[in-house]
Structure 1
């Protein structure tokens, strides 16, 4: 169950990153509210996952899901550039996440 909590927490990190961008520096109420609710839920689920997962694993996976997810949203929704170097960076992040998962004791 901890891995499910962690996955949802990571996806919520993407939500709050995107809504923070949409809040225009916390000047728009709707996106600001979404940011705060998603942040709280993301941290709460991360804390639940950390009950049984090692700190290094949980935090690395959480931030990795957020980083890759924010990159995907930036490219697909916000029209940010998709360059070869940025793709290599994402592949390296995902590779690190897979290795961290494989290296975590069951």
Structure 2
């Protein structure tokens, strides 16, 4: 169940982050509400997940997958550029998350 909560936290955080871009500095009500609701949901879900999962690997997965998700969302939704150094960075993030996940164990 903890992994499902983390997945929900990641999805909520990515949606909120992408809505931040669409809010134009929090000046548009709809996207701004999505930002507030998305980040609130992400933290609630993450807090619930941490009742049964270890904080280090969970945070690595949450932040790393969220980073990749925000990058992909930015490319798809906002036509942001994809450059070789960015792809290398994304690969390093994924590698780091994998190492944290495998080395730290998720459940306590």
Which bracket does the TM-score occupy, shorter chain normalised?
Answer: over 0.9
How far did 1:104 drift?
A: 2.7
Q: 1:65 & 1:12 partners in 2: Cα distance? A: 12
Q: Aligned residues, how many?
A: 106
Q: How does 1:4-83 map to 2 (within 5 A)?
A: 4-83=4-83
Under a length normalisation based on structure 1, what TM-score does the superposition of the two structures give? 0.93
Q: 1:3 & 1:96 partners in 2: Cα distance? A: 18
5+ residue gaps, structure 1, are: none
Q: CA RMSD in A?
A: 1.1
Q: 1:53 & 1:103 partners in 2: Cα distance? A: 14
5+ residue gaps, structure 2, are: none
How far did 1:26 drift?
A: 0.9
Under a length normalisation based on structure 2, what TM-score does the superposition of the two structures give? 0.92
